A = this chain, B = another copy of it.
Amino acid sequence: VSLDRTVRKGARGTVFLVGAGPGNPELLTVRAHALVTSARIVAHDELVSEAILALVPQGAELIRVGRRRGTSPEAPAMHPAVLARALDGLDVVRLKGGDPLVFGRGGEEAEQLDALGIPFEIVPGVSAALGAAASTGIPLTHRDAASSVTFATGHGRHDPTGSPGGGTIVFYMGLATLRETARALIVEGRDAHTPVAVISHATLSTERTVIATLDAIADAVESASLEAPAIVIVGDVVARRVVPSAAPDVARPVTRSRRVP
């Protein structure tokens, strides 16, 4: 009787919680690339780019994981199909946009896996803010402009970000709530003329950037019809932007259009 290596009666499969990075497949880590290109089961959400999913081997099972219809935000983080495969003894690559432990609910998923005795590994990724910063040439910290950077979400409370003199703030998933966020920051004491960059589809060929002041950014983004997912960078570092200008023979295979007022 030949036994499939990955099916061990009674044994659990391993779940790999893998950061897929900001979107460009070249920004996967070496470890993530190896896991994705050899996976037999991949579970991914809508933040993982098509270009990365194209690396999954033919014949592998793809499980699309999203905010399931009918589930509340209170529902367990991990998709039941992922747990079922692992309990059946199959290894699963759970691909998450960016880094699994920054707004990825990776911590909650790890808790579930641990409770069920399913072995797991966490592979960090280039968080979306870092990809957007590199691609647009906006430093997240700068000796003369910001001594710290805070990652927050567009939905939810703004309290941790309310330090007026403060550092850079990056909002993840902040497009839908941009107008409210900008208003709240001004109320909390941020200068209305603080520069803001909104980067849509960072590191992909469809990347677009809009830059405006805090009091004008919502209108600017609206008239540019920027699409989610987008990263919002707030702070004086935006004015320190230096657009990368690598020679054509070494440039990454992405094209960009930018609208900078």
Contacts and interface: CB of A to CB of B under 8 A. Distances in A.
Contact of A99 (B19, B121, B130, B165): B130
Interface in A224-261: 237, 240, 242, 244-247, 250-252
Interface in A16-36: 16, 19, 21-22, 24-31, 33-34
Given A30-B30, A101-B134, A160 B148 contact: yes
A245 B156 CA distance: 32
A142 interface: yes
A4 interface: no
Contact of A130 (B31, B91, B127, B145): B127
Nearest to A21: B29
Which one of A21, A113, A162, A246 has the greatest number of beta carbons of chain B within 10 Å?
A: A246
Nearest to A131: B124
Nearest to A13: B247
A149 interface: yes
Contact of A111 (B73, B141, B240): B240
Contact of A133 (B25, B28, B101, B165): B101
A252 B167 CA distance: 35
Contacts of A27: 29-31, 123-124
16 contacts: A19-B134, A28-B30, A100-B134, A106-B139, A107-B142, A107-B242, A110-B244, A119-B245, A120-B245, A121-B244, A121-B250, A147-B160, A150-B151, A150-B160, A159-B165, A159-B166
Interface of A: 14, 16, 19, 21-22, 24-31, 33-34, 73, 91, 99-103, 105-108, 110-111, 113-114, 119-127, 130-131, 133-135, 137-143, 145, 147-153, 156-157, 159-163, 165-167, 237, 240, 242, 244-247, 250-252
Given A26-B31, A29-B30, 19 more contacts: A19-B134, A21-B29, A26-B34, A27-B123, A27-B124, A29-B126, A105-B143, A107-B138, A108-B143, A111-B242, A119-B245, A120-B246, A122-B134, A123-B134, A148-B151, A150-B167, A152-B167, A159-B163, A160-B163
